[in-house]
Amino acid sequence: MKKLFLTMILGAVALSACTNLDEEIYSKISKDNFFTTEEQFVKYSARAYSSLQHWGTEKSLWTFVIQNTNEVCTPVNPNGGWWDDGRYNEVHVHSISSSNRLLEMAWDYWASGVTACNDVLDMFESVDKDFEAKDRVVAEVKTLRAYYYLCATDNWGSVPYSISKKEKGYPEKKDRAFMFSFIEKEIKDNIDFLQVEPTGEYYGRITRGAADAILAKLYLNAEKWIGKPMWKEAEEACQDIISRGNYRLAENYKDNFKVYNETSPEQIFAIPYSTVYTTDDHHAFIIYMSTLPADLCRPLGIPADAWDGLCAEPDFMASYEEGDTRKKDTWLYGQIYDKDGNPIEFAPGVPYVIDPDMPESVYGKDARRDALQGARIAKWEYQSDGRLTGGQVGMDNDFFLLRYADVVLMYVEALVRQNRTAEAANVADFQRIRTRAGLKPFTVAQLTLDNLYWERAHELAIEGWQRQDMIRFDKYLEAWWAKPVKDASDLTLPYPKSAIAANPNLK
């Protein structure tokens, strides 16, 4: 009997092995094996944050918006590079086709961010396991999703709305009013769960300060986006940050952009970058590759052959006040010095002197700029220890998406917009922003909207906010260097072709 039983078991085992088609998995992990510890939950939520790292790549929302404004232009370089089917040119002259690759990559920044947040939230819900910090992590991810949607509605107006992977079918297109109230509600519902004190542990994560700053951005643009001025709400959001006293201006402007800038007291929400951990196509901060000419790399301590593309727009260079140290702190022009401070020669006997001025005639498909024309981006200190070896090797500098100076400037703007100019001129940190840059404080009479616009432009140059600032200060549709006057349809970007192809609701 025992024998028969054994035979039957063996037979059954053999038979099931003969027909077993379960996949054997080795190099990836299934959900059931994954969520076992709190650390695993945190590691899963990390995905929502690491989507931010796309910001600093060669084709991203950031590089898109800085070329879309009066800050940066990309003429064809002396060797004939950077035309690429006109994709950079289109972005700058505001005639963007829906198949533009830069547009698609810009869209992907927020879209992949939102989908990552949705996935993290769905996953937390589906895994029946609690951990101590769960409420806070969920609040962080929801606020982060609100930030991604802010990027979306800021640039595209109406956008597809999806807050869970479980929703089947094509996401519906929602207008700015809907998105505005969604973002507002989402942040307000979650803000109390967030960390208030921005201790080192929370570096690079959404804290109370970051949530308030995002709210401030939302309210500041409410008039343009939903036709309803909300200056008071913007003021209050900034006031909350200022009065809590968790942040202060850095001693030097440059401290915010150093290679190791994480200690700056000014940062509110940073994207941490690393030459080691964020070095690939979709997660690297590589502005040095996009802007520097190859022959300057080695003198600057960069063993790479950079691509010689993005330049400062000449009119923007001309707009700085005499003595504004931020001009030199942001751009590379004039006599160029190597990393040891010695002047560089362009050719034997010819000093390497970059002229920031360029006529509009150097711009276009068949034109080329000279090697010594066009200031380059130098805001983020170039790492000269030999680690920047080109390609997708990213810089160590962290990118401050939100910093205290921006909050101060938003606060001042909200006051000025409410005709409380005298009060605004008394904001000490605002005047310190001026004096830190080697400039005189603004008198009440000088504190016009126009001057405030330029103050923001110079303080926050190429940090990614100029596009919405130009729109808010009614500058965006005007003509500027190589860009013609545009009508109001230019205020939102076209949907990329790939997004339309994937979702008929965008047609």
Partner 1 sequence: MKKFILTIASFLLVWGAVAQNVTVSGRISDENGEPLPAAALLAGGDYTTSDVEGHYSLSTKSGAAVVVSYMGYEDYTFTVPAGGGKVDISMTPSQAIMLDETVVIGYGTTTKKETTGSVASLKSENLDLGSYINAGAMLQGKVAGLTVVNPDGGDPNASYQFLLRGTNTLEAGQGPLIIIDGVADADIRNINFQEVESIDVLKDGSAAAIYGTRGTNGVVIITTRRARSGSTSVEYDGQVSVQAVQSRAMPMTAEEFKYTIEHYAPAKTGSLYGYETDWFDEITRTPISHKHSLAVSGGNDRFSHRTVLNVEQNQGLQKKNEASKYLIKTNIVQHCLEGWLDMDYNLSYVKRVASPANYGAFRQAFMRNPTEPVYDEAATQYGGYFTLTESDYSNPVAMINERSATNETSTVAASVRATLNILPIQGLKWDNFLSYSDEKYFGCEYKTSYYPGSVGKKGVAYTSANAYDNLQWESTLQYSRMFGDHSFQGILGYTWQKQINWSSNMENYGFDSDFYKYNNMGIGTALKQGLADMYTNRSSNRYIAFFGRVIWNYKEKYLASVSLRRDGSTRFGKDHKWGWFPAVSLGWRMSQEEWLKDVEWLSELKLRAGYGVTGNQDFANYKSLMLMSSGTSFYYNGEWINSYAPASNANPDLRWERKSEFNVGADFSFLNGRLGGTLDYYYRLTTDLLYEYNVPVPPYDYKTLFTNVGSISNTGVELSLYATPVKTRNLVWTTSLVAAHNRNKLIKFTNEEFQNQDYEIGWIATPVGAYVQRLIEGESLGSFYAPRWDHVGPDGRDVLKDEFAGKVPVAKWSRIGSAYPDATLGWSNTLRYRQWTFGMTLRGAIGGKVFNSYRATYENLQQIGLRNILASWLDDTSYTGEIRYSDKYIEDASYLKLDNVSVSYDLPYHNQYLHSARVFVSGQNLCCLTGYKGVDPEVSLSGLTPGIESTSYYPRTMTFSLGVNLTF
Contacts of 86 (CB under 8 A, 6+ apart): 365
- Rg of the chain over CA atoms, in angstroms? 25
Residue 307 beta carbon to partner 1: minimum distance, rounded to whole angstroms: 5
Q: Interface residues for partner 1 in 421-480 (CB under 8 A)?
A: none
Residue 168 beta carbon to partner 1: minimum distance, rounded to whole angstroms: 8
Residue 137 beta carbon to partner 1: minimum distance, rounded to whole angstroms: 11
Q: Is 263 one of the binding residues for partner 1 (CB under 8 A)? A: no
Residue 473 beta carbon to partner 1: minimum distance, rounded to whole angstroms: 32
Q: Is 285 one of the binding residues for partner 1 (CB under 8 A)? A: no
Query: What is the H or E stretch that residue 311 is in?
Result: strand 311-312
Q: Is 384 one of the binding residues for partner 1 (CB under 8 A)? A: no
- Estimate the crossing angle of helix 38-50 against helix 101-126, to 10 degrees: 160
Residue 399 beta carbon to partner 1: minimum distance, rounded to whole angstroms: 12
Residue 219 beta carbon to partner 1: minimum distance, rounded to whole angstroms: 25
Q: Is 268 one of the binding residues for partner 1 (CB under 8 A)? A: no
Q: Is 307 one of the binding residues for partner 1 (CB under 8 A)? A: yes
Interface segment toward partner 1; rule CB under 8 A; list 65-73, 225-233, 273-281, 324-332: 273-281
Read off the tokens for 72: 């940066």
Which residue(s) pair with 353 in the sheet?
335
Using CB under 8 A, pick the residue from 157, 265, 364, 390 that binds partner 1: 390
Q: Are 381 and 257 in contact (CB under 8 A)?
A: yes
Interface segment toward partner 1; rule CB under 8 A; list 63-71, 104-112, 419-427, 458-466: 104-112
Residue 26 beta carbon to partner 1: minimum distance, rounded to whole angstroms: 4
Q: Is 18 one of the binding residues for partner 1 (CB under 8 A)? A: yes
Residue 216 beta carbon to partner 1: minimum distance, rounded to whole angstroms: 25
d(CA 26, CA 39) in angstroms, rounded, equals 21
Which residue(s) pair with 270 in the sheet?
400
Residue 255 beta carbon to partner 1: minimum distance, rounded to whole angstroms: 19
Residue count, binding to partner 1 (CB under 8 A): 83
Q: Are 182 and 114 in contact (CB under 8 A)?
A: no
Q: Is 487 one of the binding residues for partner 1 (CB under 8 A)? A: no
Long-range contacts of range 338-342, CB-CB < 8 Å, 24 or more positions apart?
338/299, 338/300, 338/301, 339/299, 339/300, 339/301, 339/384
- Length of the chain equals 507
Q: Is 303 one of the binding residues for partner 1 (CB under 8 A)? A: yes
- Estimate the crossing angle of helix 176-190 against helix 134-156, to 10 degrees: 160
Ramachandran angles phi, psi of 331, nearest 5°: -125, 155
Q: Interface residues for partner 1 in 26-55 (CB under 8 A)?
A: 26-31, 34, 40, 42-44, 46-47, 49-50, 53
d(CA 424, CA 417) in angstroms, rounded, equals 10
341 DSSP 8-state letter: S
Using CB under 8 A, pick the residue from 9, 422, 428, 501 that binds partner 1: 501
Q: Interface residues for partner 1 in 205-224 (CB under 8 A)?
A: 205
Using CB under 8 A, pick the residue from 3, 4, 200, 443 that binds partner 1: 200
120 or 414: CB nearest partner 1:
120
Q: Is 395 one of the binding residues for partner 1 (CB under 8 A)? A: no
Residue 77 beta carbon to partner 1: minimum distance, rounded to whole angstroms: 8
Q: Is 21 one of the binding residues for partner 1 (CB under 8 A)? A: yes
Read off the tokens for 45: 């939520």
Q: Is 94 one of the binding residues for partner 1 (CB under 8 A)? A: no
50 or 239: CB nearest partner 1:
50
Q: Are 456 and 409 in contact (CB under 8 A)?
A: yes
For residue 61, which of 82, 98, 86, 91 has the smallest C-alpha distance? 91
Residue 414 beta carbon to partner 1: minimum distance, rounded to whole angstroms: 32
Residue 119 beta carbon to partner 1: minimum distance, rounded to whole angstroms: 6
Read off the tokens for 344: 């560089």
Interface segment toward partner 1; rule CB under 8 A; list 277-285, 376-384, 407-415, 480-488: 277-285
Q: Is 119 one of the binding residues for partner 1 (CB under 8 A)? A: yes
From residue 123 to residue 152, the character string flagging contacts with partner 1 as x (rule: CB under 8 A) and all else as - is ------------------------------
Q: Is 98 one of the binding residues for partner 1 (CB under 8 A)? A: no
For residue 153, which of 63, 93, 90, 214 has the smallest C-alpha distance? 214
Q: Interface residues for partner 1 in 330-359 (CB under 8 A)?
A: none
Query: What is the H or E stretch that residue 334 is in?
Result: strand 334-335
At 262, which amino acid appears?
Answer: E
Which residue(s) pair with 137 in the sheet?
none
Residue 113, CB-side half-sphere exposure with 13 Å CA sphere: 28
Using CB under 8 A, pick the residue from 185, 228, 365, 440 that binds partner 1: 365
d(CA 8, CA 163) in angstroms, rounded, equals 52
Query: What is the H or E stretch that residue 230 is in?
Result: none
Ramachandran angles phi, psi of 255, nearest 5°: -60, -25
Read off the tokens for 246: 């968790």
209 or 293: CB nearest partner 1:
293
Using CB under 8 A, pick the residue from 164, 181, 419, 448 that binds partner 1: 164
Q: Is 201 one of the binding residues for partner 1 (CB under 8 A)? A: yes
Distance of CA 25 to the CA centre of its chain: 37
